[in-house]
Amino acid sequence: MEKFSAKKCSLQILSKQHVMLHVTLTHRYLLLPVEENQGLVRIKVIQNGDVKQVLNVKLAIHNSDYSVPLALQQWEGKTVLLDIVFSENTSVLKSIEDYVCWELLQYSETFDTENREKFRPIYHHTPSYGWMNDPNGLFYNKGIWHLYYQYNPYGSQWENMTWGHATSENLVHWQHEGTPLLADALGMMFSGSAVVDHHNTAGFGEGAIVAFYTAAGDNQTQCIAFSNDEGKTFQKYSDNPIITAPIADFRDPHVFWNEDIQQWNLILAAGKEMFIYTSKNLKVWHFESSFGFGYDTDDEVWECPDLMKLPIKGTDRCAWLLICNINPGGPFGGSATKYFVGSFNGYEFNCESNLLKSKWMDYGKDHYAMVTFDNAPEHRRVGIAWMSNWEYANEVPTQQFRSANTVPRDLSLFVYDGETYVSSIPSEELLHMRKEIVDRPMPACELVIDITSQQADLEIVLQNHLKERVIMKYKPQHETFSFDRKHSGNVSFHSTFAKKIEAPTLGKITQLRIFIDKCSIEIFDAEGKMVMTNLVFPTESYDEMKLIGLATCTIYRLE
Ligand code: FRU
């Protein structure tokens, strides 16, 4: 690594907030030092008078928390100019030339993404560094699962939204593939979906991957990009945007082929409603209907919809599931995933049950933006959610990366007490991650708990020698399951983190499958009736378990 020392080079001071800096393109990266509790600094990369890129980075003023790489070799020529503006309210007693960033900037041929943070999961998808929120553009094709995600490559907090890309052969271990959708003049790349256009309906080529995203500029508009190399690189469509409306929160298009009407459907979030469209060619869309109007809710906004036909277990019927992520308004505060079950004729969705009775896909605090894969094999409906909560996502105690996605879940429907609910079971691929049976909980493991009596309550305590603990309780008589993380370790980073929460189990549970991975605990009723996803940040991993009640437990180390 080569120290850059901007001070000794050509730091041109233009005002108390504004500097310019010439950077040579002789190295792969310029490492930018970040101080997370500073304000955002706007950096324009300029070459021959043209703006090549704009990024917002919390450049270090007093201390550096970590560095992020600005890739230099994407530009031709010998130099670029960085035009750097600190925010007006950066109030420090130092003058701009004394900010530590000028000493800490470094040229480098490498950027270290080694997995050394103690909370980085082993078998969950995470970005190699930087911030991640929603999963986007999930699709399966030719034996490979593709996962894109809301990604900030210039810091571990939300900003600079792009789509990161990862691929997997087994739905569990992911490989980083790059950042194929970058912000443009229409805005940042917000959430969306992708489809495999097998029959070339759009004219982008047979089997082209067509991605739908929201460009978040002065307003939010819907755009397309297509890929002819299996989602590695995308070309943005020349007639973007393809859908616009005078609505402030207008985003997260989800597209799918609807066999029943032999057309494409698109559903997106518009304020506290979902808008539904049809198309024959993925480019021209007709507005058909909206869902949710007049349904009086306290939810702030609806986001990241998905709509799909699912079989109802134990019957030969199907029903339609409309997934609606909301923020805030979750059952225990902050963001969460709600759903509606009903009928859909390709044009209009009708909810079957009482709209005011909320149904939740996952009863934990840390499950958001759940969406499913397009084109999955064997008619499977596999979903993945972002494992955090907007209440505190930017503050959870990790640093070089922030946030993971849940384990994949296979979805279907079941009926309980006359109502239709979603069943979520851990995808079968997770069974292959089981290694040897161990005699105590490990940082990455699965607990399989067989409940032998429904007469008594069952308490499961996970703890470490510091007595940091998580207490779970299944009460068969009440048909509830609770999770208490009040004393689970570091809970002080946000006032809403320390909590006890409770879920209805919608019937009796005979087996629980509990997935622990460093800082997350996902609890499934093995039959799928109840699922709960929660983060925990113990000082040391929980390595003791108490089981109080009538049950047996097998622990598998997972890899
Ligand atoms: C949901 C969300 C989406 C939006 C994206 C921006 O978490 O707010 O509605 O597209 O995040 O990152």
CB 180 within 8 A of CB 234: yes
Q: Are residues 31 and 77 in the same domain?
A: yes
pLDDT digits (tens, 9 = 90+) for 450-468: 999 999 999 999 999 999 9
Q: Where are the alpha helices (DSSP H) in 161-306?
A: none
Give residue 9's pLDDT.
Answer: 72
Q: Are residues 465 and 395 in the same domain?
A: no
Q: Is the CB of 445 under 6 A from ligand 1?
A: no
Domain span including residue 51: 2-108
Q: Are residues 412 and 449 in the same domain?
A: no
For residue 360, the domain's CATH number is: 2.115.10.20
Q: Is the CB of 161 under 6 A from ligand 1?
A: yes
Q: Are residues 251 and 396 in the same domain?
A: yes
Confidence of residue 354 (pLDDT cuts 50, 70, 90): confident
In a domain, 7, yes or no: yes
On the question of pLDDT at 412 being above 80, the answer is yes
Both tokens of 436, joined, read 């040897």
For residue 52, the domain's CATH number is: 2.60.120
Our count of domains for the chain comes to: 3
Question: Distance (Å, rounded) from C-alpha 195 to C-alpha 455?
Answer: 48
For residue 470, the domain's CATH number is: 2.60.120.560
Q: What is the residue-averaged pLDDT of the chain? A: 96
- Report CA(222)–ligand 1 centroid distance (Å): 13
pLDDT digits (tens, 9 = 90+) for 377-399: 999 999 999 999 999 999 999 99
Q: Are residues 389 and 247 in the same domain?
A: yes
Q: Are residues 280 and 164 in the same domain?
A: yes
Question: Distance (Å, rounded) from C-alpha 27 to C-alpha 73?
Answer: 7
Least confident of 10-14, 79-83, 89-93, 323-327: 89-93
Both tokens of 207, joined, read 């089997």
Q: For 26-184, list the strands marked E by DSSP.
A: 29-34, 41-47, 50-57, 66-71, 79-86, 106-108, 130-141, 144-152, 162-168, 175-181
Q: Is the CB of 160 under 6 A from ligand 1?
A: no
In a domain, 123, yes or no: no
Domain end point (choices 397, 425, 453): 425
Confidence of residue 476 (pLDDT cuts 50, 70, 90): very high
On the question of pLDDT at 524 being above 90, the answer is yes
For the chain, the first-to-last Cα distance in angstroms comes to 33
Beta bridge partners of 448: 513, 554
Question: Distance (Å, rounded) from C-alpha 531 to C-alpha 512?
Answer: 10
Both tokens of 370, joined, read 């759940």
Question: Distance (Å, rounded) from C-alpha 38 to C-alpha 272?
Answer: 33
Q: Are residues 421 and 437 in the same domain?
A: no
**List of residues 6+ apart from 262 with CB closer than 8 A:** none
Q: Is the CB of 159 under 6 A from ligand 1?
A: no
In a domain, 125, yes or no: no
- Output the CA torsion 397→403→404→405 (10° steps): 140
Q: Are residues 247 and 305 in the same domain?
A: yes
- Report CA(456)–ligand 1 centroid distance (Å): 43
pLDDT digits (tens, 9 = 90+) for 185-229: 999 999 999 999 999 999 999 999 999 999 999 999 999 999 999
Strand order in the sheet with 286-291: 250-258, 263-270, 273-279, 286-291
Query: Closest residue (by CA) to atom 9 of ligand 1?
Result: 303
Beta strand pairing call for 79-86 and 18-24: antiparallel
Across 81-102, average pLDDT: 88
Across 436-447, average pLDDT: 98
Domain end point (choices 425, 457, 489): 425
Domain end point (choices 73, 108, 143): 108
Identity of the residue numbered 16: K
pLDDT digits (tens, 9 = 90+) for 243-296: 999 999 999 999 999 999 999 999 999 999 999 999 999 999 999 999 997 775
Best residue among 131, 159, 190, 273 to mutate for probing ligand 1, ranked by most atoms within 8 Å of CB? 190
Q: What are phi and psi of 433, to 5 degrees?
A: -85, -10
On the question of pLDDT at 297 being above 70, the answer is no
Respond yes or no on whether the N-terminal peptide bond of residue 305 is cis (omega within 30° of 0).
no
Confidence of residue 115 (pLDDT cuts 50, 70, 90): confident
Q: Are residues 174 and 311 in the same domain?
A: yes
Give residue 298's pLDDT.
Answer: 66
Percent above pLDDT 70 for the chain? 98
Give residue 1's pLDDT.
Answer: 66
Q: Is the pTM of this model over 0.95?
A: yes
